[in-house]
Structure 1
Amino acid sequence: MRYYTIGMAGHIDHGKTSLTKALSNVDTDTLKEEKERKITIEPGFAPFPLTEDIHTSIVDVPGHEKFIRQMIAGVAGIDLVLLVIAADEGVMPQTREHFEILSFLGIERGLVVVTKIDNVQKDMFELLKEDIHDLIGGTPFEAFPIHFVDSLSMKGIDSLKSSILNQLETVAQRKRSGPFRMPIDHVFTVKGQGTVVRGTIFEGSVGQGDRLVLEPKGSEVKVRQLQVHRQYQTKGVAGQRAALNLSGVSHEEIKRGDVLISAHSFITSDTIDIRLKTLKNVKPLKQRAPIKFYIGTAEMIGKIVFFDRNELLEDNEAVFCQVRLHSPVVAKRGDRFIIRRPSPEETIGGGEVIEPAGEKYRFGYETINRLKAKWEGSPEDHIEDMLKKHKLLTLKELEQSTSLQGNELVNTLKTMQDEAMIDKIDNSYYTLLVSIADCKKCTCERILSYHKEHPLKIGMPKAELIQELKEEYPERLIKHCLHQLLKQDEISMSDQYVKEMAFHPSFPEKWEKRMNSVVNELYTQGLQADSFTNLYKKAQLPQELFTDFKHFLIREKLAVPLEEDLFLHIEVFEKAVFQLKKEFPGEFTIQEAKSVLNLSRKYLIPFLELLDYKGITERVDMKRHWVMKTGDE
């Protein structure tokens, strides 16, 4: 089955609703006010099956200038347009505005339908054709077939149906694979069932029981039931009009313009890079002027931001610029939009989204060239651009940020891997090889810098290194690069400290002489050394190196701590142990140790407790036994 949406467009009272009824036998004016005033206020939808395998929906949009928003919402997501012109009036103001809006939305397939032909003489038809050619000449619409019909007498309707079918044969189907997206154009409640939303499925598919996300609110909802043109179905696909009965949300929380999507599949943003094409004779548009931005079924208030001018004058060339909205909207690369002036209301132009998650850029041609490159870029360029920006992305995240989907994305990624442009880490994350190289270089540079700043330390704490690098790189990428550097023997790691392979802690060159003097003083003072703090102050060393110096002496086995602020030179300590063991090779008491070492209790007790702590001796009652051989033996 193939599913398409056909849009009606044209001036008020030119017969769009009557033509819809003639084609589908459905009256789309359902509101009481529409019946009373005989004008379309809200978009109407009618099923229009053409063949067994081609099913379409007709969207009848309002023609009155007061309902342009509803018109834009109605034509969002159409595959083919019928531009309706009444034979007794010809091309009118809203005909032109609808035509311009359709042009900006990128509609490339359609027909021009001249209605109410029973109201005019046949010799008027040639004048009507000239009028139509003046409107569509030089545009893609110029190739549209022109049909003359009368919806009441049914003249020309069968021929029009055949022509519609021929046109649809050349229209590519919307993507059913990949993420689901459906902009909402109608919200209501059904007694006993709750909240129901309607819209045209832009892409993907949806089934009963599926869980979706309502954007931009981010609410999670579940599809309880779904209908396609009042018929219950288990599944809806791209191109179909669908009504979804939702749980998890009330109808007051939803409005036209909200979008239902698969979780984590599309970007919601309030800053969007665009390529804008304006109408001829457009009034000047100043920098940061307020605008109304229409995308999908949404109408948003925002401002326009230019990077190469302070005012947009009449210009037939496309302009690369940005919109900054008051609230976020769902968008993807390539989506079409319309921009209108809020007051007095008029259409300014339209175009396509270049980057849905724009940033704040500098004013100047460098930004323009950057945006132009994004617009002209290949799939490889889009992937490279996103990986440069984010460094590390999953397949799902790449799908969301590049707007590439399915086989196109997978095949492009494979090509880039084969060409040694990207790599895949942890079986899930893609990154540029140049990002890996940059991260490794930055990692080594930071470690070397740390060694210069802290030569007394064994290395840089791994957690501190990762925290610093996280300002530039994702943590997963940093850990991957650390693992590679370890395998390549460029760094080593012990006790969560990272160091460059050839690095060994040493005294800072500037303070080397004074630090050596402290070590020598410890040796000279023997077993009754002065407090370490006093020795350090006497050497006039900087206070910020005090702790590092202490740890260095212990770690490098130049000294051993008796107490927090009492150190012995390692040779002094080992000589004392040797003397004590030589005199008492089996066991000894405190008094016997004192007789050999000639120490006061201030130094003797900490010394003996240190022997116990190191496992050299073991205290049993009032005596100590030797339990470990010393290096001197």
Structure 2
Amino acid sequence: MNISIIGSKGLAKQLGKKGTSSDITLYNTSFQGRYFTFIEPEKYPEKVQTLFQAMSMSQFTILYLTADLPKNILGECIIAVDTLKKKGAIVLDVMEKDEIKPILQETSLRDFPILENNPTKIFEFLSEIEQENIQGKPKVVIDHSFLVKSVGNVALGTVASGEIKKYDKLTLFPAKKEVMIKSIQIHDKDYDKASCGDRLGVSVKGAEVEELKRGSVISDRMDCLKELSVSITKNKFFKDDIPNEVMCIIGLQYVRAEMKENKLLFESEIAYDGEKIIILTPEKKMRVFGVAAALSET
């Protein structure tokens, strides 16, 4: 299970062993036979996109709060969770429930369980969460990639739906390149297949490391587009003029776009599967503009 930890730093390091690290750092562990990957946006708050990418990589989010967390960062994290409508919990460290509850009343976090910073109790709580098993097309969302000698090009990611098998011939989107799955590893063990929810590494034939970039998707079918008609819900705390140029999070893709009436015009082609599009304004004080959903075709 992938769990993002946002807000204050340090909890992920208490719960798992450090693994892959870039602007997002992964910490891995197991508890009572179940594997957990904790995802921390290493370069947040400098890079606001990593906050949303970390949450998009996860099935569950922990908002970790310590007394020294700046109020603006707390506010942005609450807005982010509320915008994505993530399932989650709050872990408090040297803070009282009464300090945080009033801030959450008008958000989707108001019913989040509140836990103390006790690793055993946190793991017991997490172990009770059932992981959603989404059937359908095979879909792996890539978050890191690199070249390994004697193995080849390796992509790390999560199976978002269906299952993939060794030697499957699929397509890399939005590059639209046919690729073959040469091998599959889950928690450093070789497997012949991987199912929805599995975090994995795959050796890929048919694409270069540069093409296996964060946000790319390995699947058998996927829409690729440069513009999309959308309905936009603006963040109620965004008070500036409506911008023309914005940055968008689509899955794990981070792409520049132009907002024009009810359309988003993307700088480069994106892989799109109906997910919410987060609209960011990184240069402004309020960096979360809102969320967009595709308009249904009639």
Alignment-mate amino acid for residue 197 of structure 1 = A
Alignment-mate amino acid for residue 78 of structure 1 = S
| Contact kept in structure 1, 2:171 and 2:177, CA below 8 Å | yes
Q: Deviations over 1:98-124 (max 9, x none)?
A: 2212221221x2111123x4xxxxxxx
* Root-mean-square deviation over aligned CA pairs: 2.3
TM-score (norm 2): 0.90
- Distance in 1 of aligned mates of 2:267 and 2:110: 38
- Distance in 2 of aligned mates of 1:76 and 1:60: 12
- Distance in 2 of aligned mates of 1:284 and 1:248: 45
Q: CA deviation at 1:66?
A: 1.4
* 1:267 equivalent in alignment to 2:207: no
- Distance in 2 of aligned mates of 1:91 and 1:131: 14
Gaps of 5+ in 1: 32-40, 118-124, 150-155, 307-320, 355-370, 375-381, 386-633
- Decide which structure has greater helix share: 1
| Contact kept in structure 2, 1:213 and 1:219, CA below 8 Å | yes
Map of 1:164 onto structure 2: 126
* 1:174 equivalent in alignment to 2:133: yes
Map of 1:325 onto structure 2: 266
Corresponding residue SS for 1:202? strand
1:23 to 7, 15, 18: 15
- Distance in 2 of aligned mates of 1:63 and 1:42: 5
Q: Say if 1:51 and 1:5 are closer, same or farther in 2 by CA, change over 3 A.
A: same
Q: Say if 1:94 and 1:243 are closer, same or farther in 2 by CA, change over 3 A.
A: same
- Decide which structure has greater strand share: 2
Map of 1:294 onto structure 2: 249
- Distance in 2 of aligned mates of 1:345 and 1:323: 22
Q: Say if 1:231 and 1:68 are closer, same or farther in 2 by CA, change over 3 A.
A: farther
Q: CA deviation at 1:84?
A: 0.8
Map of 2:108 onto structure 1: 140
| Contact kept in structure 2, 1:8 and 1:58, CA below 8 Å | yes
Q: CA deviation at 1:331?
A: 1.3
Q: How does 1:361-372 map to 2 (within 5 A)?
A: 371=295
Gaps of 5+ in 2: none
Q: Say if 1:9 and 1:113 are closer, same or farther in 2 by CA, change over 3 A.
A: same
- Distance in 2 of aligned mates of 1:85 and 1:63: 18
2:88 to 110, 116, 129: 110
| Contact kept in structure 1, 2:141 and 2:216, CA below 8 Å | yes
Alignment-mate amino acid for residue 293 of structure 1 = C
Map of 1:340 onto structure 2: 280
Map of 1:56 onto structure 2: 36
- Distance in 2 of aligned mates of 1:111 and 1:131: 16
Corresponding residue SS for 1:214? strand
Corresponding residue SS for 2:47? helix
1:100 to 56, 79, 90: 79
- Distance in 2 of aligned mates of 1:274 and 1:56: 35
2:156 to 198, 212, 219: 198
- Distance in 2 of aligned mates of 1:81 and 1:165: 14
* 1:43 equivalent in alignment to 2:24: yes
Number of aligned residue pairs: 298
- The sequence identity of aligned pairs, in percent, is 20
Q: CA deviation at 1:134?
A: 3.2
RCO comparison, higher one (Cα < 8 Å, 6+): 2
Q: CA deviation at 1:290?
A: 0.5
Map of 1:82 onto structure 2: 62
Q: Say if 1:68 and 1:342 are closer, same or farther in 2 by CA, change over 3 A.
A: closer
Corresponding residue SS for 2:160? coil
Q: Say if 1:326 and 1:15 are closer, same or farther in 2 by CA, change over 3 A.
A: closer
Alignment-mate amino acid for residue 302 of structure 1 = A
Q: CA deviation at 1:158?
A: 1.4
* 1:228 equivalent in alignment to 2:190: no
- Distance in 1 of aligned mates of 2:80 and 2:169: 34
- Distance in 2 of aligned mates of 1:194 and 1:282: 46
Q: Say if 1:8 and 1:325 are closer, same or farther in 2 by CA, change over 3 A.
A: same
Q: Say if 1:96 and 1:342 are closer, same or farther in 2 by CA, change over 3 A.
A: closer
| Contact kept in structure 2, 1:64 and 1:94, CA below 8 Å | no
Flag as ranges the 4+ runs of structure 1 deviating above 6 A: none
Q: CA deviation at 1:8?
A: 0.7
Q: Say if 1:286 and 1:82 are closer, same or farther in 2 by CA, change over 3 A.
A: closer
Corresponding residue SS for 1:73? helix
- Distance in 2 of aligned mates of 1:278 and 1:141: 19
Q: Deviations over 1:588-607 (max 9, x none)?
A: xxxxxxxxxxxxxxxxxxxx
| Contact kept in structure 1, 2:43 and 2:50, CA below 8 Å | no
Alignment-mate amino acid for residue 281 of structure 1 = F
TM-score (norm 1): 0.44
Corresponding residue SS for 2:284? coil
Alignment-mate amino acid for residue 158 of structure 1 = T
- Distance in 1 of aligned mates of 2:289 and 2:32: 37
Larger radius of gyration: 1
Alignment-mate amino acid for residue 18 of structure 2 = D
Alignment-mate amino acid for residue 138 of structure 1 = E
Map of 1:250 onto structure 2: 208
- Distance in 1 of aligned mates of 2:83 and 2:183: 35
